[in-house]
């Protein structure tokens, strides 16, 4: 079972989101990731394994200060527990980021349709199809 945290407010979003993910660790997960928005630009960091691996990455490749962010701990169902398959997933223009709990039952059909329209997928997950689908609206 994954964990999902989102924050919009006056505090540093990354602190709130990572604290929230830590509180959800008991649910079990295989990878973790976060996204923040700063100056209308999305920034994503994600890493396979425990939350500490993501925190180490954030130490070497920090995110900008932001008061808007999302975070996810993943329990893989579609695609292995890799850095690339970790959430969030973004569309090709990097205008939106998606985190998701569960299964997109018709993702194979969605992916086939979206790839035919030119969308480039970078992961093996069902979730990524939602990012491309929303950007196609
Ligand atoms: N089906 C999605 C994946 O494999 C979400 C899994 C989850 O609920 O964490 O990435």
| pLDDT of res. 66 | 98
Cα dist. 13→8, 24, 41 in Å?
A: 7, 17, 15
Collapse the DSSP code of 34 into the 3-class scheme (helix H, G, I; strand E, B; otherwise coil) and give the result: strand
pLDDT at 1 > cutoff 80: no
Mutate to test the pocket of ligand 1, among 46, 72, 77 (most ligand atoms within 8 A of CB): 77
**Contact in structure between 30 and 87 (CB atoms under 8 Å):** no
Mutate to test the pocket of ligand 1, among 2, 70, 89, 98 (most ligand atoms within 8 A of CB): 2
Mean pLDDT, residues 1-10 taken together = 93
Q: What is the mean pLDDT of residues 31-52?
A: 97
Q: Cα separation of 28 and 15, whole Å?
A: 21
User: Over the stretch 103-132, which tens digit does the pLDDT of each residue have?
Assistant: 999 999 999 999 999 999 999 999 999 999
User: How far, in Å, from the CA of 41 to the mean position of ligand 1?
Assistant: 25
Mean of pLDDT values over 30-51: 97
Segment 41-66 mean pLDDT: 98
Contact criterion met (CB below 8 Å) for 7 and 68: yes
pLDDT category, 2, cuts 50, 70, 90? confident
């Amino acid at each position: 079972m994954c964990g999902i945290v989102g924050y919009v407010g006056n505090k540093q979003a990354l602190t709130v989101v990572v604290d929230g993910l830590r509180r959800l660790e008991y649910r079990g997960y295989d990878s973790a990731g976060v996204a923040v928005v700063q100056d209308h630009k999305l920034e994503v960091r994600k890493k396979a394994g425990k939350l500490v691996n993501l925190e180490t990455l954030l130490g070497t490749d920090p995110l900008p200060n932001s008061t808007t962010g999302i975070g996810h701990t993943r329990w893989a169902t579609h695609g292995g527990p890799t850095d690339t398959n970790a959430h969030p997933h973004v569309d090709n223009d990097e205008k939106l980021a998606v985190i998701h709990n569960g299964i997109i039952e018709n993702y194979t059909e969605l992916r086939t349709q979206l790839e035919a329209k030119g969308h480039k997928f970078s992961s093996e997950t069902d979730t990524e199809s939602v990012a491309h689908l929303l950007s196609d609206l």
